[in-house]
Amino acid sequence: MTYEEKLSIFKKTGALQEGHFLLSSGLHSKVYFQCALVLQFPEYAYIFCKEIAEYFSNFEFETVISPALGGIIVGQEVARILNKRSIFTERTEGEMNLRRGFSLKEGEKVLICEDVVTTAKSSKEVLSVIEKFGAKAIGLGAIVDRTSTDIDLDFPFYATMKISAETFQPNDCPLCKQNLPIIKPGSRK
């Protein structure tokens, strides 16, 4: 699938919106991306996850692990395509953990899956959970790469799309200077 075809799915589902947005970080942006709006359609979830699965199909691993909530659908779908086990981490009292009886064996090889990677903060939290069990991460797969700097992992990172993450400080935002009304995504008008 071409870049344009993927972009058209993101726009058609409302996942990718252009305008003037107030992000949860407090920064302003021309672009807002909500991956759940793509993943709500299983046929699209399949298309994007199949591409991640194909990239990692020659890697040796037993389990896919993803951070709740955003990563779960991606991890489950990639695991289904490659016939692997799929588990997820959850944040409790601020700390990422395996719950629900999930565990990893020592030396178990694991693929991390996410919906969107921006700073790789949650991926690195998942990595610390993997290492706590003595297991080993072999890669990170995501639908969208929104990184603006090198995320510094010692295993391959593959994303199906790169969406540049240009953001502005509220006091230095060109869209504010044009007096464009700002939208807070997820809130009702």
Q: Which residues contact 7 (CB under 8 A, 6 or more apart)?
A: 16, 161
- Which of 26, 101 has the CB closer to Zn ion? 26
Question: What's the burial of 78, exposed, middle or buried (CB within 10 Å: 0-12/13-18/19+)?
Answer: buried
List % helix, strand, coil for the chain (3-state, nearest 5): 30, 30, 40
Instruction: Give the residue with the Cβ less far from Zn ion, 138 or 175.
Output: 175
Query: Shortest approach of Zn ion to residue 177 CB, angstroms?
Result: 8
Cβ proximity to Zn ion, 18 vs 54, nearer residue: 18
Which H or E run contains 8? helix 3-12
Nearer to Zn ion, 58 or 179 (CB): 179
Closest separation between CB of residue 180 and Zn ion, Å?
7
To Zn ion, the closest distance from the beta carbon of 22 in angstroms equals 7
Taking the complex as a whole, how short is the minimal distance between the CB of residue 117 and Zn ion, in angstroms?
24
Least CB distance from residue 159 to Zn ion, whole Å?
Answer: 27
Give yes or no for a contact between 75 and 65, defined as CB atoms under 8 angstroms apart.
Answer: yes
Interaction site with Zn ion (CB under 5 A): 28, 173, 175-176
Measured distance CA(90)–CA(127) in Å, rounded? 13
Q: How far is CA 94 from CA 97, 125, 132, in A?
A: 10, 11, 17
Closest-approach residue to Zn ion (CB) = 173
Whichever of 31 and 176 has its CB closer to Zn ion, that residue is 176
In angstroms, the Cα distances linking 113 to 19, 62, 74, 140 are 29, 13, 6, 6
